[in-house]
Amino acid sequence: MISVRGLKKHYRVHKRPPGLKAALKSLFKREYTTVPAVDGIDFEIKPGERVGFLGPNGAGKTTTLQVLAGLLYPSDGEVRVDGHLPQKREVAFLKKIMLVMGQKQQLLWDLPPSDTFELNRAIYDVPRDEAKKRVDGLIELLQIGDVVNKPTRQLSLGERMKCELAAALVHGPKVLFLDEPTIGLDVSMQVVMRDFIRTYNEQFGATLILTSHYMDDVAALCPRVIVIDKGQLSYDGGLDELVQRVRPEKRVAFRLSAAVPLSALEGLGKVVKNDGAEAVLQVPVEQVNAVVGKALQSLPVKDLTVENPPLEEVMSELFSRSRAEKGKAA
Amino acid sequence: MGRYLQLLKLQLRTSALLAAQYRWDFLIDGLISLVWAATAIAPLLIVYSGRSQTMIPGWSMNEALVVTGWFILLQAILEGAINPGLQAVVDHIRKGTLDFVLLKPADAQFLVSTSRFQLWRVVSVGTGIAVFFIAFGRMGRAPSPAGLAQATVLLCTATLVLYSMWILIVSTAFYVVKVDNLTYMFSSIFDAARWPSSVFRGVLKAVFTFVIPLALMTTWPAEALLGRLEPVTLVYAIAASLGFAAASRTVWLLSLRRYASAGG
């Protein structure tokens, strides 16, 4: 469905040292430097896949997404989306894709979302009854029946984002580009959005690429992740394997009926937390069974859970590690 | 083509919905339009209040009033149909929402140009036409059918030139983010179109004929209505408007390309 080979996107920006003198000088003579936003990445995505783009700010995630959507010309390399070269922006291509940006909105501010739906229906040339069926389905799935006829400016952020999604789906796209779709939403609204996105993907077999700062979004939605750092691909594969690779450890959390001294825990593994009611240990995967067995014998355990370490931690470790490696190589 | 007509209809409908939401604008725009008309006519009255009856070479007061009528009419088109949509481009570029427009399977220039209309400016169109009636009433005659036909053609060419110049100005928004000053400058230059072009001499005359063809916008259509337009002028007007349209389209497309390969 999507194939990216050797994609590079370099920006030419003018470089200016700080200070007034330099600012005045730059009015007449400018020095330019090339900034590689994306510097040679390759990947393939199959139809119906849900893929998460991860990376720190400025890593090149959004740039990659914009190239895939045809908004930016690649500086080098080849990108194909369902057989199309995105930058040509052919009508057939544009009708297959959609882009939702959490920080930007396309809904008409002073009019109800239903008017934007109708405008998009006409622009995408969708037959009226087909559009009606689809929009009705979206309204039901997103539960926005009572908001689509209120002016957009009166809606809450969550309601507006739901309507943004609906507006972007009026033409029934096969490829969904979601750039931070849950930014600024509260936790319960994030869950609603995630459920909707997953349901849509399952029902229509749409291919989905998501960027998000909320690791929970990625964990809940994307079986496969692509990690981009400094414009380069640093990981492509399953989320679980990524966690395994970066942190081959599990977290064992015990709920305790009585407080235990730190010394009783230290022999079992690395202590992450011990506040009397709960103790959390970090334990190598192969030792989990042994540690759990020992703990049940020696500690007043009410309940226990075994989990992966939080994704945020895994990510920050991955990024700092890749920086350190690059630093060494340089 | 049929699809674009349908889209235009829908965009007009959207603007109508907006206009209906702000219905007090009707009253305010009506009042503003009358004030504008008065300020457009006042300088004429001052110029012609002297003893001589032809202060502007070749134009009696009533004839000059026809030029003023065209000025009011074109200003209404500029502010009602051209300016709002293209102002939207500037906003899109600043907010980064132009991406949504570019992802639509329809021509981006068409979409932004038709995205907003200030429908209450129709009042000003009415005012402009009323000025024609007053001017011809005072002259005691009516335009000939041929004159009306020529004037209609010139209305189209004038609108096309005005629109193209606006596109050229807005295209600069891709290079410099603040174009407010440029649009103000254009508005004040356009202000000179309230006078018959024969008031300008020398360099100004050349500029207003070839660079910013103000004569094409108000003087020629007025001459057409008055029945004294050289027919060959029509050919010039059509050629000039097509030239402007082609140039502005080219610049627009180049600017979009720049946006796509630099943006972000």
Size of interface A-B (CB pairs under 8 A): 74
Q: How confident is the model at residue A32 (pLDDT cuts 50, 70, 90)?
A: confident
**Inter-chain CB proximity A101 and B102 less than 8 Å:** no
Question: Which among A185, A188, A164, A160 has a CA at the least distance from the CA of A176?
Answer: A164
Q: What's the rounded Cα separation, in Å, for the pair A5 and A44?
A: 9
Q: Is the pLDDT at A323 greater than 90, yes or no?
A: no
Q: What's the rounded Cα separation, in Å, for the pair A81 and A93?
A: 8
Q: What's the rounded Cα separation, in Å, for the pair A76 and A81?
A: 16
Three-class DSSP category at A176: strand
- List per-block mean pLDDT (blocks of 10 residues) for chain B, which spans 264 residues: 87 86 77 81 77 71 91 92 87 85 92 89 88 93 94 96 91 77 79 85 80 87 93 93 96 86 48
Q: Is the pLDDT at A327 greater than 70, yes or no?
A: no
Residue A168, token pair as written in the block? 């972007």
Listed range (A12-21, A93-102, A146-155) with the worst mean pLDDT: A12-21
Q: What's the rounded Cα separation, in Å, for the pair B27 and B25?
A: 5
Question: Which among B40, B128, B31 has a CA at the least distance from the CA of B76?
Answer: B128
For A111-156, what is each residue's pLDDT tens digit?
999 999 999 999 999 999 999 999 999 999 999 999 999 999 999 9
Instruction: Name the DSSP letter for residue B56.
Output: B
Three-class DSSP category at A186: coil
Q: What's the rounded Cα separation, in Å, for the pair B148 and B225?
A: 6
**Inter-chain CB proximity B99 and A104 less than 8 Å:** yes
**Inter-chain CB proximity A111 and B17 less than 8 Å:** yes
Q: Which of residues 74-133 of B touch A (CB under 8 A)?
A: 95-97, 99-100, 102-106, 111
**Inter-chain CB proximity B104 and A124 less than 8 Å:** yes
Which range has the top average pLDDT, A32-36, A161-165, A316-320, B201-205?
A161-165
Q: What's the rounded Cα separation, in Å, for the pair B112 and B104?
A: 11
Torsion sign, CA atoms A43, A102, A38, B104:
positive
Does ipTM top 0.90? no
Q: What's the rounded Cα separation, in Å, for the pair B156 and B237?
A: 10
CA angle B258, B262, B264 (to 5 degrees): 125
Hey, which residues does A274 pair with through a beta bridge?
Answer: A279
CB-CB neighbors (< 8 A) of B7 in chain A? 122-123
Q: DSSP letters along B105-158, please?
A: SS-HHHHHHTS---GGGHHHHHHHHHHHHHHHHHHT----HHHHHHHHHHHHHH
Q: What's the rounded Cα separation, in Å, for the pair B76 and B56?
A: 25
Domains in chain A: ranges and CATH: 2-243 (3.40.50.300), 248-307 (3.30.70.980)
Cα R_g (chain B), whole angstroms: 19
Question: How is the beta sheet containing A301-307 ordered, strand by strand?
Answer: A270-274, A278-284, A249-256, A301-307
